[in-house]
A and B are shown apart, each in its own frame.
Chain A
């Protein structure tokens, strides 16, 4: 049967992608950011996962206009990197897993999650920057990816609790898949940042570090954070952190924290990264 062997969270700042693509990872500004991901790149070489269920948000690249799906699962064989206004990132095509995605689509809808299923979509920096951070420069990604796009753009986003419940249902769905796959689940976005208005540039390290601290064994507190509290305390775009809770819930009750990284700033954003292992 398929197993979720690790949960990984990371910010997905577009400027990190730009620095990566332009080989500026050793610049004094960017080096501390990229150094924070050296550990996980080695970890991934050893873990060699088959599939990643990648929770991210589309930044007005593939959707969020004619339709506004709360949860959208990518079921295609492949997903092309999107052109976000400066040309597509020079990264490999993202290969999907339609068989596992189809299984998840069935199981999750049966379990009352009314997902939108995407049979075609481009994927933007929200998905490809985490892949670059985990695997570095490669000619093809070493994993298949099932994108799970979450609406964090248009209020109301799903609640923290709803994201938690979805993560728990994903855990069950993966477990009921017959093939012996090594599956990871990633939560991306955050940490605190605000990209609009006179309050732009907001960073709240106390909130961010408390969130990281509670992610292992005080998750009941994280599930209660309201949308209002996310917007107030972590900035209008900090609400992306709800996607970390899908990842965390999919790992089950107990986890071991293997690695953690926090750095301010990358462009407008506080960068957070954590690697968790489910403990049975």
Chain B
């Protein structure tokens, strides 16, 4: 057996973090196809006109569609999504990246913006679930 510096399970020990890997990439393939379709202005207009009908053009799961409709970014990440794709959706909504990202933290946009201005979220206590540090 080849040696490894650490077990890949260690990646699950980072608090509040989902590591986007090949399996998740596959799970979210059609969700991400939808996100990338929003890189064209005509598609953005179509989506805005009737979000549900537009989503039904893609082979996404019902859960993924509902999470898009409710702009639930944590749920979209849970369902395989990756933020670089998902911001195409928040950009279409005219949200700043900060608003989209902050929406996953349970803070209001103002609270999140204030935390960032004050230097961001501290690493202390946010390194490891197991190590509680």
Smallest CB separation, A190 vs chain B (Å): 14
Given A155-B21, A265-B119, A265-B120, the answer on whether A199 and B16 have CB atoms closer than 8 Å is yes
Number of B residues with CB within 8 Å of any CB on chain A = 58
Instruction: Check A231–B19 contact: CB distance below 8 A.
Output: yes
Q: Does B48 contact A (CB under 8 A)?
A: no
Given A65-B32, A199-B121, A231-B17, the answer on whether A268 and B116 have CB atoms closer than 8 Å is yes
Q: What sequence of 0s and 1s flags, for each residue 17-37 of chain B, a beta carbon within 8 Å of any chain A beta carbon?
A: 111111001000100110110
Number of A residues with CB within 8 Å of any CB on chain B = 46
**Chain B residue with minimal CB distance to A122?**
B39
Smallest CB separation, A160 vs chain B (Å): 11
**Chain A residue with minimal CB distance to B116?**
A265
Interface residues of A in 153-202 (CB under 8 A from B): 153-156, 192, 194-202
Interface residues of B in 79-105 (CB under 8 A from A): 82-85, 87-92, 94, 96-98, 101-102, 104-105
Q: Does A60 contact B (CB under 8 A)?
A: yes
State the total of A-B contacts with C-beta under 8 angstroms: 156
Q: Write out the residue numbers on chain B whose beta carbons fall within 8 Å of the beta carbon of A201.
A: 101-102, 105, 112, 115-116, 120-121
Smallest CB separation, A30 vs chain B (Å): 12
Instruction: Check A198–B10 contact: CB distance below 8 A.
Output: no
Given A15-B97, A196-B104, the answer on whether A228 and B6 have CB atoms closer than 8 Å is yes
Q: Write out the residue numbers on chain B whose beta carbons fall within 8 Å of the beta carbon of A226.
A: 5-6
Partner of B96, one of A15, A65, A205, A228: A15
Instruction: Check A198–B91 contact: CB distance below 8 A.
Output: no
The 28 sampled A-B contact pairs (Cβ below 8 Å) are A59-B87, A60-B32, A60-B84, A60-B88, A65-B29, A65-B32, A68-B25, A85-B39, A85-B92, A154-B21, A155-B19, A155-B20, A196-B73, A196-B77, A196-B101, A198-B16, A199-B17, A200-B16, A200-B121, A201-B105, A202-B126, A203-B120, A228-B11, A232-B127, A236-B14, A236-B18, A264-B119, A265-B117
9 additional A-B pairs beyond A201-B115, A265-B117, beta carbons within 8 Å, are A85-B88, A85-B89, A195-B83, A196-B17, A201-B101, A204-B123, A205-B119, A233-B123, A264-B119
